[in-house]
Amino acid sequence: MQDYRDHDAVSLAELVRTGGTTPAELLATARARLAEVNPVLNAVVRDVHPPAATGPEPQGGRPFAGVPFLLKDLHQDLAGVPTSNGSRALRDVPAAETATTVERWVEAGLVVFGKTNTPEFGAKALTEPHVFGPARNPWDTDHTPGGSSGGSAAAVAAGVVPCAAASDGGGSIRIPASACGLFGLKPSRGTLPYGPAHGEPIGGTATDGVVSRSVRDSAAMLDVLAGPSDTSAYLPGGLPEGGFAAEVGQDPGRLRIGVTWASSINADPHPEAIAAARRAADLLSDLGHEVVEVPMPVDDAKLAKDFLTTWFVHCAASVAEAMEAAGVGEDHFEPDTRVMAALGRATSALDYVRAVEGRHEHVRRLAAFHADHDLLLTPTTATPPPRIGAFDLPAPVALVQRALLTAKAGGVLRFTPLVDQMISQNLGWVPYTQLANLTGRPAMSVPLHWTPEGLPIGSQLVGRLGSDGLLLRVAAQLEQAAPWWDRRPPL
């Protein structure tokens, strides 16, 4: 088991190619490790019979042939297998077709054997769905692994698989990577395909990806996924000529990097979050980069409002679609989800369009920052990973919530302290990650700092559109300067 955990996905694939092991042996080992830790972590919520690659040999072969892999149980459809999206309503509704990204993972030779825990519709930075119960952090099981890719991050950190599928609509790759001591990259908008069942998720702010223990795994996985499909709306730009994997180990040159931890959403970040940013800044300075303190380059209070406005409308659409697919009523969804859906339905078309168009303001401000700075450095989260249940509503507030939902008072909800409490809970500990989603810029979380209590907090770097390769070069520099591979959770 320990020998298995000493390898990343790239090296496991090499072992298979050279006859050092077999896919069957790797799958048996992954399942054994899952059986050992999942009763505690609740990271994987559905067993999957591994589908076989059926398409023609892709260009470059099957780079991950025989490597065990887990899908996230949110929009990552495998035909005939339910995708619950973390919801009781969809728990037993099988997917009609396989998602494009899942097809690419399977055709790359990855052996999919399970689906990971996620909050209902991926709507929180925690992974505590009512239908499956909370996923737990391997570094301290009283704490969250983050969300919405929390199950995937917990499984990777615990050594079930070296990397796992994830997705990111507001930080859902980077937040769990931060909470679990992993590397996580959200690619530039348009780099990865969508479909075929759905177009651009949340108006293009969301994308698939992975959480991993090594930078080279994330780079090689990006090579598997990048590029348009037949149903893509446009061609992505900025793809490295030699592929993303070739960027790892290349010199990024001397960069000018602006660092900040200022936030209008959380005016008092935890000292350990600030320490994480300072640790990254010091390492980058030691590597020869110029690091300067800067103010937050965008109006993050307005950005949060624009983000949540579009998110609530998207949640309303997701609930309506799920009700139709499952033939159920709204009582099959969690109260917080119903509140968000009610807020979405109460949002006017004018307010929604203004929020969507508001993204351009944030793009322009971030572009002005990037005219003088190559990268923006922040903590990934404003606090260490919270305890499980920390954001549960107090009983009296939950009663008010249920009463308003029963009265179908979506319009009234907008003017209650309940909404402010939901916003502070959902974004207060993760105020830094939505910027990259709304602007479409690539961003990554790098695991460089652990608290005295042994909990990880990542450092986030945001680049210009199409600078994914540059981010990988910098991540590899940091990985070599301050290796995290041998840091293992106690579980």
pLDDT for residue 94 is more than 70 = yes
pLDDT for residue 74 is more than 60 = yes
- Choosing from 84, 87, 148, 152, which is the catalytic residue? 148
25-34, 192-201, 414-423: least confidently modelled range: 414-423
Nearest 5 degrees, angle CA 471-CA 474-CA 475? 85
The mean pLDDT value for 146-158 works out to: 98
Question: Would you call 124 a catalytic residue per the annotation?
Answer: no
- Choosing from 149, 172, 178, 212, which is the catalytic residue? 172
Q: Which residue has the tokens 């950005």?
A: 303
The pLDDT > 90 percentage for the chain reads 84
What residues have CB less than 8 Å from 111, skipping those under 6 apart? 23, 26, 27, 50, 66, 67, 68, 69
Kind of pairing, strands 44-47 and 207-212? Answer: unpaired
Q: Which pLDDT tens digit goes with each residue over 255-294?
A: 999 999 999 999 999 999 999 999 999 999 999 999 999 9
| Closest C-alpha to 303, from 465, 427, 445, 417 | 427
- Residue 12 has which token pair? 């496991």
Query: Is the torsion defined by CA of 28, 33, 37, 41 positive or negative?
Result: negative
How would residue 43 be classed by pLDDT, with cut points 50, 70 and 90? Answer: very high
Question: Would you call 212 a catalytic residue per the annotation?
Answer: no
How would residue 55 be classed by pLDDT, with cut points 50, 70 and 90? Answer: confident
Q: Is residue 196 reached through a cis peptide bond, with omega within 30 degrees of 0 on the bond before it?
A: yes
Rounded CA-CA distance 227/26 in Å is 29
What's the pLDDT at 235? 83
User: Could you tell me where the beta strands, DSSP code E, fall in 371-450?
Assistant: 375-379, 443-450
What's the pLDDT at 339? 87
Q: Which pLDDT tens digit goes with each residue over 162-187?
A: 999 999 999 999 999 999 999 999 99
pTM greater than 0.95: yes
- Residue 161 has which token pair? 């698989």
What's the pLDDT at 407? 62
How would residue 447 be classed by pLDDT, with cut points 50, 70 and 90? Answer: very high
What's the pLDDT at 291? 98
What's the pLDDT at 410? 60
Q: Which residue has the tokens 């401000």?
A: 365
Rounded CA-CA distance 41/153 in Å is 11
Rounded CA-CA distance 146/113 in Å is 22
The mean pLDDT value for 464-471 works out to: 97
pLDDT for residue 412 is more than 80 = no
What's the pLDDT at 422? 67
- Choosing from 72, 115, 124, 186, which is the catalytic residue? 72
Rounded CA-CA distance 473/249 in Å is 6
How far, CA to CA in Å, does 359 sit from each of 51, 122, 314?
Answer: 39, 21, 16
Q: Which pLDDT tens digit goes with each residue over 424-439?
A: 777 999 999 999 999 9
Q: Which pLDDT tens digit goes with each residue over 478-491?
A: 999 999 999 999 98
Beta-carbon count within 10 A of 435 CB? 26
The mean pLDDT value for 316-330 works out to: 96
Q: What is the mean pLDDT of the chain?
A: 94
The pLDDT > 70 percentage for the chain reads 95
What's the pLDDT at 59? 75
Q: Which pLDDT tens digit goes with each residue over 340-363?
A: 898 899 899 999 999 999 999 999
What's the pLDDT at 429? 96
What's the pLDDT at 395? 73
Rounded CA-CA distance 338/349 in Å is 19
What's the pLDDT at 28? 98
Question: Would you call 186 a catalytic residue per the annotation?
Answer: no
φ and ψ of 159, to 5 deg: 85, 20
* Partners of 168 in beta bridges: 207
Q: Which pLDDT tens digit goes with each residue over 354-395?
A: 999 999 999 999 999 999 999 999 999 999 999 999 988 777
Nearest 5 degrees, angle CA 188-CA 190-CA 193? 120
